[in-house]
Amino acid sequence: MKRMRQLDEIDRRIIAALQQDGAITHTELADRVGASSASCWRRIKVLENAGILMATVRLVDPAKIGRGVNVLCNIRMHSHARDARAAFESFVQTRPEIIECFSMSGEWDYLLRIAVADVADYNEFLMDILLSHASVAGAASHFALSLTKYTTALPV
């Protein structure tokens, strides 16, 4: 198992601040976390090289770009063979409407979060694309009625 890098209090403050605002300047970050700008820059580079800090992105409001419906879709596979799983996971990577995919334990093999415009859009995707994949034996769909909590920030 890969050993986790030990984070000190300054690292934790840097991570927390960057999760709230990835565009913050090093000077603003230094003021927030109580370190020098140069120290923050060095620490960020170490955290990036360790794979702790990943890509800097801008979050988009799904409803404002016509993707306001979230569907949670459980997938059951025909086979659990390595090649069947690899084929399905490769397929998932090519589909922009699938925004999250989890391999699951229990009754279902995968859980997908799919962002679509409306029920008709999802129906077309489900019937014409998802259920047509050779690896997929079945699916169960659940429509999110509202969003109670959404965060990309992890506790540190």
* Cα 51 to Cα 121: distance, rounded to the nearest angstrom: 36
pLDDT at 5 over 80: no
Mean pLDDT, the chain, integer: 95
Question: What pTM does this model have?
Answer: 0.88
Helix axes 9-20, 26-33, angle to 10 degrees: 130
**pLDDT tens per residue across span 12-65:** 999 999 999 999 999 999 999 999 999 999 999 999 999 999 999 999 999 999
Burial of residue 107 (CB within 10 Å: 0-12, 13-18, 19+) is exposed
pLDDT at 3 over 80: no
- What is the per-residue pLDDT for 23? 94
Residue intervals of the chain classified under CATH 1.10.10.10 are: 9-49
Give the SS3 label for residue 114. strand
Strand residues in the chain grouped as ranges (E): 69-77, 98-103, 110-116, 136-143
| Statement: 62-143 belongs to CATH 3.30.70.920 | yes
Nearest to 47, CA basis, from 2, 1, 10: 10
Q: Using an 8 Å Cβ cutoff, are 119 and 127 in contact?
A: no
Residue intervals of the chain classified under CATH 3.30.70.920 are: 62-143
Tell me the fold of 9-49.
Arc Repressor Mutant, subunit A (1.10.10)
